[in-house]
Amino acid sequence: MSDNPQNLKRRISSLKQWQEGLEELLSSGMEDFEEKLFNFLCDQNELVSMDKFKNLLEETGLRDNDFRLNETMQKFRNVLERQLHDEHELRGMMDKETFLDCVSDNIVVISKALTSQFVIPEFRTFTDIIDKIFEKCVYNEKGKPAQYIPQLARGNPKHWGVSICTVDGQRYDLGETNIPFCLQSVVKPLTYALTLNDLSPDVVHRFVGQEPSGRSFNELTLDYQNKPHNPMINAGAIVTSSLLKKGLVIADRFDYAMDELKRLSGQEHVTFNNSVYLSERATADRNFALGYYMRENKCFPSEADLVETLEFYFQLCSIEVTAQSGAVIAATLANGGICPTTGDKVLNSEAVRNTLSLMHSCGMYDYSGQFAFKVGLPAKSGVAGGVLLVIPNLMGIFTWSPPLDQWGNSSRGVQFCEELVANFNFHNYDNLKHTSKKYDPRGRAVESKAQDVVNVLFSAFNGDVTAMRRYALLGMDMSLADYDGRTALHLAAAEGHESIVRFLLEKCNVNPHQKDRWNFTAYDDAKRFKHDDVAKILLEYMKKHPTPEGELQIEDINEKIKHLYNID
């Protein structure tokens, strides 16, 4: 659930502190990041609080159980353990040496988080809006849980959870995100993706089509080639179940599916609900009818055993996740098949792309067309109330609430998705440049190279050394040139900004010999506009760093130096 006001106050004040401190950190240069971080975080006794540091990371969406922080967290535990036996040390407080030792192993992700390089840099601004959308959906009491088996009919209509995981592993949870529930139809795109990952799309689509059926999800119907219309409806999912690791014995096939789902979820919660499976199997007349109809029409691979296939399909539907583990699965799909929380490459990117395409057109039962129109994102829902939503290259979201609408989709889940794209420009066809009414939480990761050039050149022209340091720290190429071949160094030299020229040369190692389209170097510009101090800096640096062409260039420079210093 969302924060109480006190928590919120605490959170906002620490975020403010963080932002102000970060500015200072960046403006004092880019070297010795760990030390600057220590200076920024330490108190008057030169100690850093472990909790304060962890809170700071959490503000960015990074959890302390993230695998990328393993070494740091282990060292924190060791420090706490040691402090238990040493009464002179303040528990949870670290001196400089201890702090540097703890953070150094994981400094890559720590600096990425703290220098706003995650895909959603201002994570709290984003999640504050998510809080509001979540709260709005609490009041939606439409629909009721699925009634066809007692295990689902007993679902609590009040349960409502939303979990988010970005492609950089930033996490956020609201409501009931730790309660297991069955994937049901949400397993269909996952079965399809795993099948595609193993067999090629050509092989898989010999057995199943790619068209929306225009019929109900469990309709007894095939397409014009006598294939199930797509893998998101029951007929298609039963066929893809028959393809999944078809060479193995059934027990190993089940183990394979469980292991792969576990990998997709970054080793988070994936279990099997046997009573749901037994209920599914006991009430499966329609699915058996579909199975026999498809066998009659030669829809299965020749070696498939019908009853075994159907049972496997029911078992897959009875696999449980939580909203949290489901969000990681969704994020793995958003991230092209690589799990963002473990770095495990589970699926190839083509399998993911094909899966997302079919989720987009067929994932939300008979509401799929309207969903694609209104939300414009790939999603899949299931009758236990789960909705898996993918925002490609950005994040995965899993919502869970048992009451279903007339189409069999979670009422709150659909409302959440619709509100989401009303607030953020996440719809596939939202224009990212001109959709001004919507908020875009994406950071510079999606900014174009052209925008990078403008930012760097503009700051160099204005003499904004703080901004230049920030861009350098963010890993931008500081030698980028515009259409005319003008670089930041040219502009800083032409404007006489000595500190920027020094920064670009000494810290960023940009090439001082780079020429613009009129064959001018930065030195030529400094000279032309009578900034002799800057011209001297450039010449001396050029002398120390000649171009590979060598001697001639140095002699040339020597000539220029003589001229500049009036030496004959």
Cα dihedral 7, 10, 15, 16, rounded to 10, equals 140
Judged by beta carbon, residue 217 or residue 300, the one nearer ligand GLU is 217
Give whichever of 126 and 277 is closer to ligand GLU, judged by the CB atom. Answer: 277
97 by Cβ neighbours in 10 Å (0-12 / 13-18 / 19+) ranks as: exposed
| Least distance between ligand GLU and beta carbon 274 (Å) | 14
- Cα-Cα end-to-end distance for the chain: 78
Q: Does 393 bind ligand GLU (CB under 6 A)?
A: no
**Least separation in angstroms between CB 290 and ligand GLU:** 9
Q: Of residues 117, 140, 166, 184, which one binds ligand GLU by CB under 6 A?
A: 184
> Which of the residues 316 through 345 are near ligand GLU (CB under 6 A)?
317
Which CB atom, from 58 or from 280, has the smaller least distance to ligand GLU? 280
Here's the x/- map for ligand GLU, 54-93, by CB under 6 A: it reads as: ----------------------------------------
Q: Does 217 bind ligand GLU (CB under 6 A)?
A: yes
How does DSSP classify residue 67?
A: G
Residue 516, phi then psi, degrees to nearest 5: -85, -175
Site for ligand GLU in 264-293 (CB under 6 A): 280, 287
| Secondary structure letter of residue 2 according to DSSP | P
- Restricting to residues 430-469, name those near ligand GLU by CB under 6 A: none
Contact 265, 396 (CB under 8 A): no
| Contact between 383 and ligand GLU per CB under 6 A | yes
Q: Of residues 231-260, which lie at the interface with ligand GLU (CB under 6 A)?
A: 234
Among 166, 185, 315, 324, binds ligand GLU (CB under 6 A): 185
Least separation in angstroms between residue 457's CB and ligand GLU is 54
Q: 92 near 51, Cβ under 8 Å? A: yes
Tell me which amino acid residue 309 is.
Answer: T
Which of 115/151 has CB closer to ligand GLU?
A: 151
Name the residue nearer to ligand GLU (CB basis): 288 or 458. 288
Give the nearer residue to ligand GLU in terms of CB position, either 116 or 287. Answer: 287
Three-state secondary structure readout of 208-271 = CCCCCCCCCCCCCCCCCCCCCCCCCCHHHHHHHHHHCCCCCCHHHHHHHHHHHHHHHCCCCCEE
Task: State in angstroms the smallest separation of the CB of 313 from ligand GLU.
Answer: 7
Residue 460 tokens, joined: 């160099």
Nearer residue to ligand GLU within complex by CB, 266 or 363: 363
The distance of closest approach from Cβ of residue 184 to ligand GLU in the complex, given in angstroms and rounded to an integer, is: 3
Q: Which is nearer to ligand GLU, 162 or 383 (CB)?
A: 383
Closest to 384 (Cα-Cα) out of 182, 233, 190: 182
Q: Which is nearer to ligand GLU, 163 or 185 (CB)?
A: 185
How far is it, in rounded angstroms, from Cα 181 to Cα 464?
Answer: 53
In DSSP notation, 494-520 reads HHT-HHHHHIIIIIT---TT---TTS-
Task: Classify strands 181-182 and 270-272 as parallel, antiparallel or unpaired.
Answer: unpaired
> If binding means CB under 6 A, how many residues of this protein chain bind ligand GLU?
10
How far apart CA 555 and CA 559 sit, in angstroms, is 6
- Binding residues for ligand GLU (CB under 6 A): 184-185, 217-218, 234, 280, 287, 317, 382-383
